[in-house]
Amino acid sequence: MLATSNAEIKISEDLDQETRCGASIEADSGSLTVPNSGQTIAPGSICIFTIHLQTTNTFRLNISSLDISGGERDEDCSEAAVRIYALTNLVPADRRESYTFCNDSPPPPGGSFYLSGNLATVIYQASQNASQNSGFTLNFDGIAFQPIPTIHESSYSSATSGLIRYPVVGEYEPNRVNTWLIKTSDANSNLELDVIIERVDIEECGNGSGNNTCLCDALIVYEITNTGILEERARLCGSTEESLTIEKLGPNFIIAFFTDYIQVPGQGSGFQILYAPFNSLTTTQPPSTTTDRPPPSNYSSSCGGVLEGIEGFIEYKLNETYVNYERCLWTIRTPFRSNIQFDLLEAGYEHLHDNIQIWSIGKWCEFDTNSQSSYFAYSSSTVAFVFFQSDGANTGTGFKLRFRVGYDYDNSHVYHEDQSIVVENRTVARLPESGLIQNKELSTLSVIGQNPYSGLDWSMNVNITTVDLEVDADGNCVDRLHLYQIVQRPIFNHLKRYTPYIGICRLSELPSETITGIGLFAILTSGTNTSSKAGLALEAWQD
pLDDT in tens, 23-68: 999 999 999 999 987 788 888 899 999 999 999 999 999 999 999 9
Average pLDDT over residues 334-347: 86
The burial class, CB within 10 Å (0-12 / 13-18 / 19+), for 404 is: middle
| Mean pLDDT confidence for 420-449 | 89
Is the pLDDT reported for residue 349 higher than 90? no
pLDDT tier at 249, thresholds 50, 70, 90: very high
Domain 283-410: state its class.
mainly beta
Name the range with the highest mean pLDDT among 54-63, 339-348, 489-498. Answer: 54-63
**Element spanning 332, H or E:** strand 327-333
User: Quick one: pLDDT band at residue 451, thresholds 50, 70, 90?
Assistant: low
What would the CATH number be for the domain defined by 22-277? 2.60.120.290
DSSP 341-407: EEEEEEEESPTTTSEEEEEETTEEEEE-TT-GGGSEEEESSSEEEEEEE--SS---EEEEEEEEE-S
What is the value of pTM for the model shown? 0.59
pLDDT for residue 11 = 35
**Would you call 109 helix, strand, or coil by DSSP?**
coil
In 106-260, DSSP assigns E strands to 113-115, 119-125, 135-145, 151-157, 162-166, 176-183, 193-202, 218-224, 230-236, 238-240, 244-249, 252-258
Mean pLDDT across 194-219: 82
| pLDDT tens profile 223-248 | 999 999 999 999 999 998 888 999 98
CA 149 vs CA 57, 141, 152, 398: distances in Å: 9, 16, 9, 64
> Phi/psi at 508 (nearest 5 deg)?
-65, -15
Q: What single-letter amino acid sits at 511?
A: P
User: Distance (Å, rounded) from C-alpha 173 to C-alpha 160?
Assistant: 29
What pLDDT sits at residue 207? 58
**Residue 63: closest CA among 117, 132, 11, 113:** 113
Residue 354's identity, in one-letter code, is D
How much is the pLDDT for 477?
A: 92
Is 274 within 8 Å of 196 (Cβ atoms)?
Answer: yes
**Model pLDDT, residue 367:** 57
What pLDDT was estimated at residue 110?
Answer: 72
Nearest Cα to Cα of residue 86 among 55, 118, 63: 118
> With 70 as the cut, is the pLDDT of residue 279 above it?
no
Q: For 46-71, give one letter per residue: b (16+ CB within 10 A) or e.
A: bbbbbbbbbebbbbbbbbeebebbbe
CATH architecture, range 412-543: Sandwich (2.60)
Of 98, 42, 49, residue with least CA distance to 70: 42
The model's confidence at residue 532, banded by pLDDT at 50, 70 and 90, is confident
8 A C-beta contact, residue 155 and residue 24 = yes
pLDDT in tens, 124-165: 999 988 887 889 999 999 999 888 889 999 988 888 888 888
pLDDT band at 170 (very low <50, low <70, confident <90, very high): confident
pLDDT, residue 413, reads 80
Contact at 8 Å (CB) between 295 and 289? Answer: yes
| Total residue length of the chain | 543
3-state SS, residue 214: strand
Q: Which residues pair with 129 in a beta bridge?
A: none
Percent of the chain with pLDDT over 70: 86
**Mind spelling out the 3-state secondary structure of 250-268?**
CCEEEEEEECCCCCCCCCC
> What is the model's pLDDT at position 438?
85
pLDDT of residue 1: 26
Neighbours of 236 (CB within 10 A): 18
Residue ranges, comma separated, of all CATH 2.60.120.290 domains in the chain are 22-277, 283-410, 412-543
Is the predicted pLDDT of residue 117 greater than 90, yes or no?
yes
pLDDT given at position 462: 92
CB 521 within 8 A of CB 486: yes
